[in-house]
Amino acid sequence: MTPDPTRTHRPDAPDDRSPSDGPPSERSPSDRSPFDPSAEAARATAAILHDTLHGEARGVVVDSPPGAGKSTLVVNAALELAAAGRPLMVVAQTNAQVDDLVLRLAEKQPDLPVGRLHSSDADPYDKALDELDHVRKSTKAADLAGLDVVISTAAKWAHVKNVEPWRHAIVDEAYQMRSDALLAVAGLFERALFVGDPGQLDPFSIVGSEQWAGLSYDPSASAVSTLLAHNPTLPQHRLPVSWRLPASAAPLVSDAFYPYTRFRSGTDHGDRSLSFGVPSDGSGPDRVLDEAAASGWGLLELPARHTPRTDPEAVRAVAEVVRRLLDRGGATVSERSPDPAPLTADRIAVGTAHRDQAAAVRAALAELAVTGVTVDTANRLQGREYDVTVVLHPLSGRPDATAFHLETGRLCVLASRHRQACIVVCRAGVAELLDEHPSTEPVQLGVTVKFPDGWEANHAVLSHLAEHRVPYRPQ
Amino acid sequence: MSLIHTLARLEAVESGRAQPLATVRHRHLAARPLVFVPLTTAGEAGAPLGALVGADRERPRLLLVPQPRDRDLRFAFLSDLAEELLPYVESFADETEPAERAETDPETGKRVKVEVELCADAPQLIVPSLAGIEFVRLLGRSMRFRRTAEQDPDTPYPAPPRVPLLGRWLTHFAERARVPGSALIAAMTELLSRHWATGQSSLEDQHLGALLAWIDPPGEGRDGEGSGAAAALRAETARDEAGQLLCPPAGPATDPAFDNKLLAPAIERYDRARSAVAAAEDGLAADRHLAELTAAEREIAALVESRTRPTWDAVWRGLDLLAALPEGERAAERWTRDRWSYTGHRDRVLAGEPPQPRLDDAVTAANKLATRETAQARLEAQEALDDPLVMAGRRLSGEAFGGEVTEVVMAYTESKRPSPRPLVTLRTDDSPHLAERAKVYRSLAGKPQSAQFVGYDEEGGVVLRILDKMGRGKEPEEGSVPVKGDRITWTLFEHTPRGGPSLPEPEDTPWTHGGPPGEGAQAPDPVTPEDVL
Amino acid sequence: MSEFPDSAVPTAAVPPTDNAARPAPQATALRQRLAELRGPAVPAKALDARALAALAANPGCRRRALLDGAGVDKSALAQALGSPSGFGQSQFALVRGNAFEAKVKADGGAELLRLVHARLGGGPAPASPGPEGGADTAEVHTPDLTAAGPEGRSARTALALRDAAATRAWTLLDHPMLALDVAGSPAFLEPDAVVVHPDGRWTVVEIKSFPMIDGSADEGKVGSAARQAAVYALALQQVAGRLDPAPPVGHEVVLVCPKDFSNQPTAAVVDVRKQLSVTRRQLGRLTRIEDIAAALPEGTTFDVERSPDELGRAVESVPAAYAPECLAACELAFHCRDRSRTEGEVTSLGRSVRGELGALTTVEDVLAAARGEAGDPDDPVVAALRRAAALRAQALEGAACR
């Protein structure tokens, strides 16, 4: 496949290659072909903005891999549309995302009149918005009429009725938005820019929706799949460069999770580094830290055992790794700060699959007197960025793999939040678990097969991690 | 599966008898349900072989298709089925009560209350298993687009008069089955396994005979012939000397051994007799062959009855077992929704609306999904509130917590007219997943009272601030605030989940979803001369 | 029709052909060992696509891997053990299936080719049968594939495929025979049809008699059809790999089913990439049957002529991984279920039951832990079980008092 920086090669595009033949070969980072990430990214952004501002199509779709500057794109597009005098509504999925966008817009252009449409619940928006002079907040869309940009969640927009449609909209995190949520708001705008990351967790419904499987407008599918099924000729772009993922991570994440829409790291090997002031004490956690500092990845492997989700040893190991990460005086160097910056607790996150695991890790960290480190599930870590992440592998210690634990998006989120290094804590035996996983999935006619599937992606990540394995037998 | 459910299954294994999963019955049972036990022909879509049907336990009606591949015989069966089912379904149509419904005024676009009729009761269809519901759906789909000679005199192979209407009703029942907590149609295996945990897997629970064997075993103990395990095994696998299952499968699929050894020869005799009748050259011969034909038909009838009657009896036995449980308080509220559903379809039929389309349009699909998600959330909340055993599961998973009130401190809002916001401390052994300022709810005289999580005190007690349902005055109304020593269960989930915002009308379907659906009149399925299945 | 087991084709004691992979000496030793396991006078039960597809149904089960790998007739074995499988096929379904396949393939496969062309393209429309073809249509070839024995037929199929590559016509191979190398032995597979498009692509066609109603079909049945088709596609890839240049084998297969309630065929495209990669991986893992066989006690045999006791011991000597899903997928399931229940394994209640039980695997251990009779209270599993048991008991007591 020839890489084309702006045109997305969709996973459902015909391709005779089967996934286990390996992803299409592309220039590898070691390859000395000229690749200027800034120029590539700028070219992609310019094409997107051109299609958005001057194109004929009613919609423009942008795929953005992890850390490819999606938020920056949304802010720039919003500012340009506002500057062109086109009233704009922005649809995001969560209140946190909405508030974040408002703050970013205000930071970039403090005098831009922005409306924050919010719910009538208690504490409907971030108090920081109250400090912004040009941001008006209301529960009624009518109060915000005429402002350059009005921002809210899809859920709140769905209640807005009987208003003049906006000429333009930006739909953020469009792959995490359900088709029925788009149906509820699409009448509010004439045309829209849809931005999102196809590799993260898919939307879901709490009841069965098999009866609509394969229909172009399956209400439980993602908004983008419905949009493209009905409007296959819309221009599709993708952001080709991840500014978050280091050169050590981008190839793996790209191969394992985006085999048909590959991307590259914006930085090269050596542009970033993680080092410690305190030498290793030779323990498992310290050795895996050194491995991760050297290679960007570390696998702390505990002896094979079937455990409950809140495996005390694994939870404890996660907490120890974090404790040592702080104790050893970690320092990071990156293109942002050529001088070593101390690795502080707020630059570290722990990712888990389940909430009770997150709770157990928080308790274990409290026992080790660690504060300020983010601990959350994959769902809640979507869209977030840290220097170092410590991940409790979703399949660690499990007697069986379920669809939930195998979900591609979950692993992708967990493996793509870091700028420097990612350390995975896991029981041995996951490869065998995957091999023995029964594969008897039902197949629905007309449903586009999601690639890569979780089983395959898990194997890919695991075999890469195996090269950075540190066996650990907790005391 | 929650640990509480797992434990119940393990205890069932140990005791040789199913264990309760509920302390009340979570589905409404109609006073006069209609039981439908269909059989189908292997390898054919929607080719019924026969059925037992009726609302009278002692007198089921046996319906039969002696040659399932014959279209005329199939139509005769469907006509008979309509004759049994439709009078039952329609018998609930006339008795109504006045009710109100919110509708959008087409002039103003505002939501207004409209006086409407609500049927006082509704029909309830019981089939043996989930496969039975799927078969009802299939029958509905195969019939609702048929045309009768009255509708279209030129239609080839017209359907008998009431068959398309039966198709519409069966479609409605099957679609309603997808709404969580609904009871317009129910599968006995689902009803039973909602209320009891057996010592086998949920896959094996799909076998009605085995499921009943666990719930109501002939004897006691883990081992031995009388145990649930042994009885279930007999129900699943025991065969007579001729190789036939002693407990025939609940259908609609039949056992291949039955098809091959008993049914196929009988149908062959029937076919032979029929051709002989047709070929008979004189009246005498015709009479003789007619007698053979009658005998052959009677033989098939006996075979079909022998495979459906055990299931028929099992379904009624299941109804007895369920009736012995007291009905959960909120099951009636859900049944009222079933009555609305029934009334709505009655009205659509009366208004002469066309049959349900083959595929939902985008707006209808989204509306259905939203309705079902709300129904699911409502069902989960209602079951927990009605049943301490269900609530126990929610407490274990951190979605609810129960305990004793250890302290109540009065506090007020800081507005001009202060309102009460008392702080209540609760000691609990549960570990709820309480996020900062999470909202929690308790049931106060059947209505949800909400509170906000404030934090933990030194002893680990949960401190809550009560937010509402305390009346309008400065001092809370009598009984609206817990007092020390009260035992209360709080939930993190809402008690009366609301539906989402309304969606556009189908004719306003936006461009992202393909625009308004076409005026695709739902044409009948094309029939071909060779459509003799 | 591949829904039903292919007529048993003995594969033992046949010399390898050019088409089948030539077994290495090591593989010959293994085949010898497997023949002993089967019993000296018993021919191997042919591994058909269904059996190969079923390898993925429970890949953790060594018992199944070994018995299938050795070509043991599991149905006969289950009968001999006193737990017959109860699998059967209604003759009504059989008749209907055969009639439908015949209808689909009537007139030189005109309807079938029309459907394949409509769904996947790959060249001009196939010419209708008869002397004159249209101007913008491509010729249709239906080569005769008859030959003696599975090796002959697979050789004939390979030839026909090679010839088809050169024609730029539509070629319909009706019941071709494909040899697939399975752990060193050839398995002979018979897809319903393979179509060579004028553009050179090869496509597997599966004909099934379950209906497609309003464009959708039973997802479980489509799933097994897809897994089966993936096995054929894999075998086709092996054949294609021996040609230069290798023709592309489509990962999109065509599933042909009756439309709605009629006997008119309709078709859908099924992407089997995922099934292909799973099957490929499972076939690769089949080599471990050598290790499994090596671990058996001397003289172990599954020859059904032996006594039930002896057979029982032989079966017990290979560990199984029983789960209730086996009931629908393996002839030996009733036997394994019985053993699993006797051992008190919690997985006999479902795979998902084990999810929260950590290292506890038996009913007794779990109940003992829940009741406080065993287990470390600091173990989160034990703590959760006790909490669950207490909450459950409390709720039931409360209900009994009301």
* B450 & B335 share domain: no
Residue C23 pLDDT exceeds 80 = no
- Give C58's pLDDT tier (boundaries 50, 70, 90): confident
User: Does residue B48 sit in helix, strand or coil?
Assistant: strand
CA distance B323 to B95: 25
- Give C129's pLDDT tier (boundaries 50, 70, 90): low
Whether residue B414 lies inside any domain: the answer is yes
If you average pLDDT over every residue of chain C, what do you get? Answer: 86
Residues on A contacting C at a C-beta cutoff of 8 Å: 16, 18-20, 210, 213-214, 305-312, 360, 397-400, 402, 435-446, 448-449, 451, 453, 455-456
Mean pLDDT score, A388-399: 96
Whether residue B528 lies inside any domain: the answer is no
Residues counted in chain A: 475
* B208 & B330 share domain: yes
Distance from CA of C208 to the nearest CA of B (A): 10
Provide the pairing of β-strand A149-153 with A88-92: parallel
Residue C267: its H or E element? strand C265-271
Tokens of B17: 């008898």
Q: How many domains does one find in chain B?
A: 2
Nearest CB among C219, C250, C380 relative to A444 is that of C219
pLDDT in tens, C214-269: 999 999 999 999 999 999 999 999 999 998 889 999 899 999 999 988 889 999 99
Whether residue B519 lies inside any domain: the answer is no
CA distance A357 to A391: 11
Contacts of B360 in chain A (CB under 8 A): 211-212, 215
User: Does residue A353 sit in helix, strand or coil?
Assistant: coil
Q: Which of C319, C331, C255, C329 is nearest to C100 (CA)?
A: C255
What pLDDT is recorded for position C14? 36
* B328 & B456 share domain: no
What pLDDT is recorded for position A8? 33
Nearest CB among A162, A217, A359 relative to B365 is that of A217
pLDDT in tens, A218-238: 999 999 999 999 999 999 999
Whether residue B456 lies inside any domain: the answer is yes
Residue A69 is classified by DSSP as S
Q: Do B203 and C215 touch (CB under 8 A)?
A: no
Nearest CB among A306, A312, A439 relative to C278 is that of A439
CA distance C337 to C85: 11
> A-C interface: how many C-beta pairs under 8 angstroms?
115
Residue A21 pLDDT exceeds 60 = no
* B330 & B467 share domain: no
Contact B398, B431 (CB under 8 A): yes
pLDDT in tens, A125-174: 999 999 999 999 999 999 998 899 999 999 999 999 888 899 999 999 99
* B194 & B115 share domain: yes
Residue A424: its H or E element? strand A418-427
End-of-domain residue from the set B454, B473, B491 = B491
Residue C31 pLDDT exceeds 90 = no
* B219 & B333 share domain: yes
pLDDT in tens, B286-321: 889 999 999 999 999 999 999 999 999 999 999 999
Residue C146 pLDDT exceeds 80 = yes
* B13 & B90 share domain: yes
What pLDDT is recorded for position B520? 59
Comparing B346 with C30, which gets the higher pLDDT?
B346
What pLDDT is recorded for position A169? 96
Q: Do C388 and B4 touch (CB under 8 A)?
A: yes
What pLDDT is recorded for position B201? 96
What are the contacts of B470-473 at 24+ separation with CB within 8 A?
B470/B419, B470/B420, B470/B422
* B320 & B463 share domain: no
User: Does residue A207 sit in helix, strand or coil?
Assistant: coil
**In chain B, residues 401-420 whose CB comes closer than 8 Å to chain C:** none
Beta-carbon neighbour count of residue B386 at 10 Å? 21
What pLDDT is recorded for position C134? 56
CA distance B163 to B442: 50
Whether residue B532 lies inside any domain: the answer is no
Q: Provide the CATH number for the domain around residue B420.
A: 2.40.10.170
* B180 & B49 share domain: yes
Whether residue B521 lies inside any domain: the answer is no
pLDDT in tens, A159-171: 998 888 999 999 9
Whether residue B12 lies inside any domain: the answer is yes
Contacts of C354 in chain B (CB under 8 A): none
Residue A346 pLDDT exceeds 90 = yes
End-of-domain residue from the set B324, B358, B392 = B358
CA distance A406 to A457: 9
CA distance B185 to B170: 10
Comparing A260 with A419, which gets the higher pLDDT?
A419
Q: A285 vs A343, A369, A471, CA distance in Å?
A: 17, 17, 10
* B210 & B319 share domain: yes
Comparing B472 with A61, which gets the higher pLDDT?
A61
What is the value of ipTM here, to two decimals? Answer: 0.90
- Give C270's pLDDT tier (boundaries 50, 70, 90): very high
Residue B285: its H or E element? helix B283-323
What pLDDT is recorded for position A341? 93
Mean pLDDT score, C287-293: 80
Distance from CA of C311 to the nearest CA of A (A): 26
- Picking from C266, C273, C376 by the largest number of A CB atoms within 10 A of its own CB, the best residue to mutate is C273
Nearest CB among A162, A208, A216 relative to B514 is that of A216
Q: Do A223 and B512 touch (CB under 8 A)?
A: yes
* B333 & B410 share domain: no
Tell me the CA end-to-end span of chain A in Å, nearest whole number.
Answer: 50
pLDDT in tens, B38-92: 999 998 887 899 999 999 999 999 999 999 888 889 999 999 999 999 999 999 9
Tokens of C120: 């996947």
CA distance B22 to A474: 42
pLDDT in tens, C81-125: 988 887 888 999 999 999 999 999 998 899 999 999 999 998 888
Least trusted range by pLDDT, from A349-358, A360-369, C9-18: C9-18
Whether residue B350 lies inside any domain: the answer is yes
End-of-domain residue from the set B358, B373, B392 = B358
Residue A241: its H or E element? strand A241-242
Distance from CA of C330 to the nearest CA of B (A): 15
If you average pLDDT over every residue of chain A, what do you get? Answer: 89
* B471 & B331 share domain: no
Contacts of C94 in chain B (CB under 8 A): 43
Mean pLDDT score, C179-204: 89
Give the residues of chain B that fall short of pLDDT 70: 1, 109, 519-524, 526-533
Asked if C57 reaches chain A (Cβ–Cβ under 8 Å), the answer is yes
Domain hosting B452: range is 400-491
